[in-house]
Amino acid sequence: MATQASAAGGFGLKFIHKILLAATAVIIIAFAGFGFYIYGNQQKNIAAALDTRIAEIGNLTASTIANWLGGRVLLVENVAQTLANDDSQVNVDRTVQQKVLNDSFMFTYLGSKGGVMTMWPADELPEGYDPRQRPWYQDAVAAKASTLTEPYQDAASGKLIVTVATPLFRNGEALGVVGGDLDITTLAEIVNTLDLGGIGEAFLVNGEGVIIAHKDPQWTLKPMTEAYPGNAPTVSEGVQEQGDSLFSFIAVPGLPTVKWYVGLHIDKPAAFASLTQFRNTAILATVLAVAAILVLLWLVVRQLVSKPVVAMTDAMNRLAAGDKTVDIPGTDRRDEIGAMSIAVNVFKQNAIEMERLAAEQERMKAESAEQQRAALNRMADMFEQSVGGIVDAVAKAAGDMQHAAGRLSSTAEETNQRAVAVSAAAAETTSSVQSVAAAAEELAASITEISRQVTHSSRIAGDAVAGVDRTNTTVQSLAQAAQRIGEVVSLIQSIAAQTNLLALNATIEAARAGDAGKGFTVVASEVKALANQTEGATGEISTQISAIQGVSSEAVTAMGTIAGTIQQINEIASAIAAAVEQQGAATKEIAGSVQQAADGTNEVSRNVAAVTDASGLVGQSAGQLLASAEDLSRLAAQLRDEVGGFLAKVRTA
């Protein structure tokens, strides 16, 4: 037993090792849970701060670019307004040579409708240059408002520029287009001034994904798919995650005719470098803490638990080997180890007591064997006296059973013959009753079908009434909707009348303004014409709505008449259904009574058949009883012989 215990302990972990493993698991889970919690919070905080910083930087840059370009658009518009009042060549030359324009634009110029190009600073233009054929001229005239071009190569300087252009109109006639060229390197400088702390870069991109300004000039006017292969985002406002990169696009507000975005490219590993450092530090701290705690726990468990358990295990092995003199250590302790020591000491005392009881049992076993032999002799004598008489009585009873079995067999045969005759008569009665029952069931089925058809007709009539009610409700809703539309039309007519009055007042004020108000007079006339057309159209709508309301009233009246007629049809169908229902109930009652009679005759037939089968079984049982009685007589003789032999063996035991 000691060998088996040692072998079992060798294949498993020791108690101290199990404690250390459990403690390790608990410590690791606790540190890991706390670390994951802190890591998650840090990640959320860094991500939120990064989103806020991206949004602030992007919005600030977009506003800066919008203000920078917007100021230059205002300068060009101011020049156009000045030249609209006086487009003489002297005024043109004086205006385009203003210092503020020279400081703000590479070139300021006027392309006239006659194809003359006046530009400052003066520069040689290509032979045959016609400003009217340039995109900036055509776009501004078509838009009739200020425009901003996409970057292109300037025909005069060969540089990449964008042009701010404003058409020059007088009395609705286009006199030319005022333009100013901006070097896109200035936009690149604005974008490159962004400080992202070394975690990314900024660029300017249009809505088609073409880069306008970038800190690396090679990507200027190149699509983002080339600058950021494999993870190029789509141009849309918001933050997008592409692999190890974050992209944010903020629209530059207020730009005429173009849609530009400030793009921010953030390197995720660099942005979350502090989080990675925190994670590595937390892992290292966890490993060191677990190691230190395990060493301390091993020393404590070894001293307080392992040594006492090892000593007790040795005592238990000696006790299992049969050494009853071994001392059980730790019985004076007041902890779980002490309780185990007391329990092991109880096992020791029980082993000593069991050894004493085994010796006492051997002595009592010898005395019991002697008493058993004497008891067997007395029992054999008593068995012979009682069982011998019983065997004789069994032999006599077997003979009587043979005579009774013979009489029972003849009685069963006569009962079987009479039961067959009764069964034939009951079968004829059952056949007649079943024919009547079948006819009654067919009649009941026909009445049920008639009732079903009448019920179906009544249900269809009810559905028709419901359909008419729903149609009536729909028509009434249509009339109410037409009335509400009429109210809205009245409101529109009132607004049109007020608009007409305002247009008249505007015409009067424009007339007072003289030539300066002629353009406003044309607009007021158009507004007045639109108000008159609106008032006429709403009058026609009112006429049509009145017609719809009249037709809706007639439809409601017709639907009410149809609903009353269908309701009468439904009441007649209900009366027919009630009469058919009563007839069907009576027929079913007749069919039920006939069926009960058929069931009764069937029951009689079954009982007669059962009697016939029972009488046959009685005959068979009587034959078997006769054979059993003969076997019983034979076995009684054998039993007498066996009892004699058994008693002889008992007495000699």
Please report whether residue 551 resides in a domain: yes
Q: Burial of 197 by CB count in 10 Å (0-12 exposed, 13-18 middle, 19+ buried)?
A: exposed
Residue 7 has pLDDT above 50, yes or no: no
Q: How many domains does the chain have?
A: 2
Q: Burial of 280 by CB count in 10 Å (0-12 exposed, 13-18 middle, 19+ buried)?
A: exposed
Cα–Cα distance measured from residue 581 to residue 587, given in angstroms and rounded to the nearest whole number: 10
Q: Name which of 491, 482, 596 is nearest 538 in CA terms.
A: 491
CATH code for position 606: 1.10.287.950
Cα–Cα distance measured from residue 502 to residue 519, given in angstroms and rounded to the nearest whole number: 16
First to last CA, the chain: 41
Output the pLDDT for position 468: 59
Please report whether residue 514 resides in a domain: yes
Cα–Cα distance measured from residue 486 to residue 245, given in angstroms and rounded to the nearest whole number: 59
Q: Name which of 553, 547, 499 is nearest 526 in CA terms.
A: 499
**Mean of the pLDDT values across residues 467-473?**
70
Compute how many other C-beta atoms are within 10 angstroms of the C-beta atom of residue 54.
20
Residue 188 has pLDDT above 50, yes or no: yes
Compute how many other C-beta atoms are within 10 angstroms of the C-beta atom of residue 11.
6
Please report whether residue 631 resides in a domain: yes
Cα–Cα distance measured from residue 206 to residue 192, given in angstroms and rounded to the nearest whole number: 17
pLDDT digits (tens, 9 = 90+) for 542-562: 776 677 667 667 666 766 776
Least reliable range by pLDDT among 187-191, 228-232, 301-305: 301-305
> Which token pair is 456?
């179906």
Helices (H) and strands (E) in the chain, counts: 12, 11
Please report whether residue 229 resides in a domain: yes
Cα–Cα distance measured from residue 619 to residue 16, given in angstroms and rounded to the nearest whole number: 83
Please report whether residue 109 resides in a domain: yes
Average pLDDT score, the chain: 77
SS3 of 341, please?
Answer: helix
What are the φ/ψ torsions at residue 241 (nearest 5 degrees)? -110, 120
Which of 221, 247, 273 is a domain's end point?
273
Cα–Cα distance measured from residue 308 to residue 328, given in angstroms and rounded to the nearest whole number: 11
Please report whether residue 390 resides in a domain: no
pLDDT digits (tens, 9 = 90+) for 376-432: 676 766 766 666 666 666 667 667 766 766 666 676 676 667 666 656 665 665 666
Which of 236, 253, 273 is a domain's end point?
273
> Is residue 209 within 8 Å of 223, Cβ to Cβ?
yes
Q: Name which of 250, 249, 264, 278 is nearest 199 in CA terms.
A: 264
pLDDT digits (tens, 9 = 90+) for 48-63: 777 788 888 889 999 9
Residue of higher predicted confidence among 127 and 179: 179
> Is residue 493 within 8 Å of 535, Cβ to Cβ?
yes
Q: Name which of 128, 99, 254, 119 is nearest 176 in CA terms.
A: 119
Please report whether residue 3 resides in a domain: no
Which of 255, 273, 291 is a domain's end point?
273
Q: Name the residue range of residue 88's domain.
A: 47-273
**Mean of the pLDDT values across residues 496-503?**
72
Output the pLDDT for position 386: 66
CATH code for position 151: 3.30.450.20
Please report whether residue 634 resides in a domain: yes
Cα dihedral sign for 41, 43, 47, 53? positive
Same domain? 441 vs 589: yes
Output the pLDDT for position 8: 42
